[in-house]
Amino acid sequence: MTALWILLTIFGLLAALLLAALIRALLTPTKSSSYAPAPDEKEALRLAEKLSAMVRCETVSVPEKDLRDKFLAFHQVLEGLFPLVHERLEKTEIDGNLLFYWKGRSSDRPLVLMSHQDVVPAEGEWLHAPFSGDIAEGKVWGRGASDTKCSVMAFFEAAEQLLREGYTPPQDVYLSSSCTEEWAGPGCQKLVDELKRRGVRPWLVVDEGGGIITEPIGGIHGNFAMLGVFEKGKADITFTARSNGGHASTPRKHSPLAKLADFVHYMEHHDVFRRRMPPEVAAMFAHLAPYASFPLKMVFGNLWLFRPLLLRALPLISAQAGAMLRTTVAFTMARGSDACNVMPQEASVSANVRFIPHQGMEESLDILRKTSHMFGLEMRVDHAADFTPATDIHGEAYRTVEKTVAEAFPGCPACPYVMTGATDARFYQEICANVVRFAPVIYGPEQMKGMHGLNENIEYACLPGAVDFYKRLIAAC
């Protein structure tokens, strides 16, 4: 009788919890994202021509190689496109990296608008040549069109238009653009060091990273402004196994490659890192809940009940969403013997690791060190940097960006999210507490696929809105 009573009590409690979640979901007003770029073909084409000229200037960056002359050529293109910016703003060039200073009425709360000049290499067969800058099918085509010469063009154009009107910003404005972002180089750090030398501490920094994402999660339709509020840390790590080698005709067990294979398989099939939902991710789901289908609305809008379910299910549904919950390890390179009939004396795999705040760099590296040791491997950390501090999503600076999104993109909801990749913005965290990663252009599935891939492009209809966003943000600070 007692056991039955306990079962009935548990069942009744679960039913009550589900009923409460159901009622809450039913009472949550259903919303929809209605934002689409306002038709302005003439202005959109004018801006597309500017972006096209920037794309045609090839700016592929290469690790540890001095390519300053290449970027000086790109700077000449910028000067031709934005003459007033170059005439009236104070320009500083450091090894190909750019910093423009626009004096405002006050220096109390400086604003930094930034995005990078460099692009990744373009390989494979493209529909339009990767540095053609072709304008076709309503898009600008080419490497850098979406990542991220579009935002460089937009904030330069915003400044150009305001200067033409004789406008003086309320606060000092800095336009910042490095030429080493794509390989995590030191370019942006040099610009930050220059600002430190001047004693400048920005109130707000807005970089690329997020964007206006079409259908950010399956089942949630429309365009959403995803504002990145912190970056995961990252490391490149090499795991090595050793033996005495030998001829492949008489193989021994536990060869270096076998040890590495066991280790990789173990990492792929075991949760060695804890899953936890950062407050910023919880806020993202809360913001998205009213726009979701009813089942998702019930789950996203009742994290107090369904959080454990989401922690288990999200990595299975979406790699992007799953990466927001835990430290991740991606094995990317492998090396072994130089000949097919020779057992390697040494073999290794390399991995790219991204650290989540609740298990930061030191703890995550310690877990990897202990796990790899179980398989007789040596571990070498080739590069490591911890996660960045989070921008306060309830603070004035973040709210200013949120409000500007609402004004520039009517009907476009904004919500915070976690950057699982890396940007130059992390360098600014040293001198600024409010860093938001957001490029004000639309990234649909095609644009997301083309970023670092084939046929990169951006729909030029969204370019006037991007310029308007930066103009409004300059005025709002």
Task: Say if 177 falls within a structural domain.
Answer: yes
Using the Cα atoms of residue 300, residue 301, residue 303 and residue 308 in order, give the sign of their dihedral: negative
Average pLDDT over residues 2-19: 70
The runs of H, that is alpha helices, within 360-462 are: 361-374, 396-408, 425-428, 445-450
Q: Where residue 116 sits, what CATH number does that domain have?
A: 3.40.630.10
Asked whether residue 224 falls in the same domain as residue 242, the answer is: no
pLDDT tens, residue by residue, 269-307: 999 999 999 999 999 999 999 999 898 899 999 999 999
SS3 state at 449: helix
Indicate the DSSP class of residue 253: S
Same domain for 56 and 121, yes or no, is yes
462 vs 344: which has the higher pLDDT: 462
pLDDT of residue 8: 61
- Structural domain containing residue 364: 233-385
Q: 379: burial class by Cβ within 10 Å (0-12, 13-18, 19+)?
A: middle
Q: How far apart are CA 79 and CA 71, in angstroms?
A: 12
Closest CA to 435 of 472, 476, 401, 471: 401
Tell me, yes or no, whether 14 lies in a domain: no
| pLDDT for the residue numbered 219 | 80
Where would I find the H helices in 199-278?
A: 256-269
- Asked if residue 19 belongs to a domain, the reply is no
Does the pLDDT of residue 9 top 80, yes or no?
no
User: Could you give the CA distance from residue 137 to residue 178 in angstroms, rounded to a whole number?
Assistant: 31
Domain presence at residue 6: no
Q: In the predicted model, what is the mean pLDDT of the chain?
A: 93
Question: Quick one: 411 and 288 in the same domain?
Answer: no
Give pLDDT tens digits for 16-64: 777 777 888 888 889 999 999 988 999 999 999 999 999 999 999 999 8
Q: Is 242 exposed, middle or buried (0-12, 13-18, 19+ CB in 10 A)?
A: middle
Task: Answer yes or no: do 315 and 396 share one domain.
Answer: no
Q: Is the pLDDT of residue 177 over 90?
A: yes
DSSP letter for each residue of 153-209: HHHHHHHHHHHHTT---SEEEEEEE-S-GGGT-SHHHHHHHHHHHHT---SEEEEEE
pLDDT of 126 reads: 97
Same domain (yes/no): 301, 433: no
CA distances to 131, 134, 327, 455 from 124, rounded to whole Å, are: 13, 17, 32, 9
Q: Which of 327, 361, 385 is a domain's end point?
A: 385
The domain boundary residue, chosen from 333, 353, 385? 385
Rounded to two decimals, the pTM is: 0.92
pLDDT digits (tens, 9 = 90+) for 390-404: 999 999 999 999 999
Q: Note whether 375 and 257 are same-domain residues.
A: yes
**Are 272 and 392 within one domain?**
no
428 is written with which tokens? Answer: 């600014």
Kindly report, residue by residue over 319-364, the tens digit of the pLDDT. 888 899 999 999 999 998 888 987 888 999 999 999 999 999 999 9
pLDDT for position 4:
65
Contacts of 309 (CB under 8 A, 6+ apart): 299
Is residue 24, in this structure, part of any structural domain at all? no
Exposure of 108 in the CB half-sphere (CA atoms within 13 A)? 4
Tell me whether residue 93 is in a domain.
yes
Task: Determine, yes or no, domain membership for 305.
Answer: yes
CATH of the domain at 311: 3.30.70.360
Residues 379 and 392 in one domain: no
Together in a domain, 74 and 137: yes
> Based on the structure, what is the number of domains in the chain?
2
Segment (H or E) for 54: helix 41-56
Q: Is the dihedral of CA 57, 58, 63, 65 positive or negative?
A: negative
Distance, in Å, from the CA atom of 205 to the CA atom of 18, rounded to the nearest integer, reads: 42
What Rg do the C-alpha atoms of the chain give, in angstroms? 25
Digit-coded pLDDT (tens) for 373-389: 999 999 999 989 999 99
Q: Is the pLDDT of residue 127 over 80?
A: yes
Residue 287 within a domain:
yes
Please indicate, yes or no, whether residues 200 and 300 belong to a single structural domain of this protein. Answer: no
pLDDT at 271: 92
Domain boundary among 369, 385, 401: 385
Strand partners, 329: 353
Residues 334, 317: one domain?
yes
Q: Are residues 284 and 416 in the same domain?
A: no
